[in-house]
Amino acid sequence: MKASRTSRHATPNKPPDSVLLCSMLVTQLACQHRVPAVLLTDGIDFSVYPTNVPLPQETAHDSMHIRQGALHCIGANTVAAAALERCENSAQAWQVLMASRARRALGDALVSKISKKCLAVGRNYVEHAKEMGHEVPSVSQEPFFFMKPTTCYLREGRPILLPIGSEPEHEVELGLVIARRCKRVPRDAAFSFIAGYLVCIDVTARRWQREAKAKGLPWTLAKSADSFLPMSRFIRREEVHDPQRLWLWLKVNGQLRQRGCTVDMVHDIASLVHYASRWMTLEEGDIILTGTPAGVGPLLHGDIVEAGIEELVSMKFVCETDTGSPI
């Protein structure tokens, strides 16, 4: 069953923010590399093709056309997956490589420029619940979520800031990136609303969390300090064969701390999208964190943190103490 599309725009024919942003970015990339390009998108996936590469035959009946400079942007139902196989020479292959880089840039922009919130599920791996001394969750229970603000988002090249005295810890997680505005998504339609994936580290100020819990207070601050969500590059949905068979890992100073498989989630990916969207509208670029496997541990000033998904992506960050001094 194909899920119906819902736009958050008042004007029915206005393209979503992600498409407008993508058209601008691809135009910039095309001009920079002198590669005339075509962007094909169905609102979920973005594929960029140089104009000398044959385009997919199938396009949406309601194709929309956006012209910005040399770019022709077309909404498409189907995107060809074998563009490289169609290349006749090395020059053409290089152009397609540039297009591949552009696709990643577009996905990263979907998160960094458009995302409004991050929902995170707690205790979604049995062994992690045990190590934290919590009740072991079961699939019969509904998942519970907390939120992290977008000011937590951190890309490689910038340090993880550790508030002094907060006892920060690492939690590696798979992040889902929402493709378009949705609500009350049926479980069997969940993947049609996922644009791609991220590896994320849900940094947690454990002391702040523990003290808030002891007082019966919310522990929002323990999850929400600046830089408390380091993340990898965007991974397109098509790059992942089976998101419920991914091995997550995290190292600190070269020592393996966490390694777990997404097959061990209590609530699987489709269920999380279904539950998260039941009462809250999800919007394009929003992130859902899917829980962390066992092995969480402390982070200290000077630590080098590496994390990733085996055979897909990795990332590296350096930790620095944040004294909380006025800026």
Q: Can you give the pLDDT at residue 83? A: 39
Evaluate the CA torsion angle 164, 166, 167, 171 in order and state its sign.
negative
pLDDT: is 11 or 31 the higher one?
31
pTM score of the predicted model: 0.73
Number of neighbours of residue 70 by Cβ within 10 angstroms: 15
The full set of domain ranges for the chain reads 17-114, 118-322
Q: Which residues pair with 182 in a beta bridge?
A: 282
Asked whether the predicted pLDDT for residue 52 surpasses 80, the reply is: no
Whether 298 contacts 168, CB under 8 Å: yes
The count of C-alpha atoms lying within 13 angstroms of the C-alpha of 123, restricted to the half-sphere facing its C-beta, is 15
* Architecture (CATH level 2) of domain 118-322: Alpha-Beta Complex (3.90)
Question: How many Å apart are CA 226 and CA 54, to the nearest integer?
Answer: 45
| Rounded (5°) CA angle 154-155-159 | 70
Q: How far is CA 180 from CA 104, 255, 291, 316, in A?
A: 17, 38, 22, 29
Region 186-198 average pLDDT: 95
Give ∠ CA 78-81-83 in degrees, rounded to 5: 115
Mind listing the pLDDT tens digit for each residue in 2-11?
343 443 333 3
For residue 315, the cross-strand partners are 307
Q: Reduced to 3 states, what is the DSSP secondary structure of residue 308?
A: strand
Contact criterion met (CB below 8 Å) for 286 and 271? no
Structure letter (DSSP) for residue 113: I
Q: Is the pLDDT of residue 77 over 80?
A: no
SS3 content of the chain, % helix, strand, coil (to 5): 30, 30, 40
Length of the chain counted residue by residue: 327
Pairing of strands 37-41, 71-75: parallel
Residue 298, CA distances (Å) to 225, 238, 251, 325 in order: 16, 34, 12, 22
Band of pLDDT at residue 50, cut at 50, 70 and 90:
very low
What are the tens digits of pLDDT across the range 195-244?
999 999 999 999 999 999 999 999 999 999 999 999 999 998 888 999 99
222: number of Cβ within 10 Å = 25
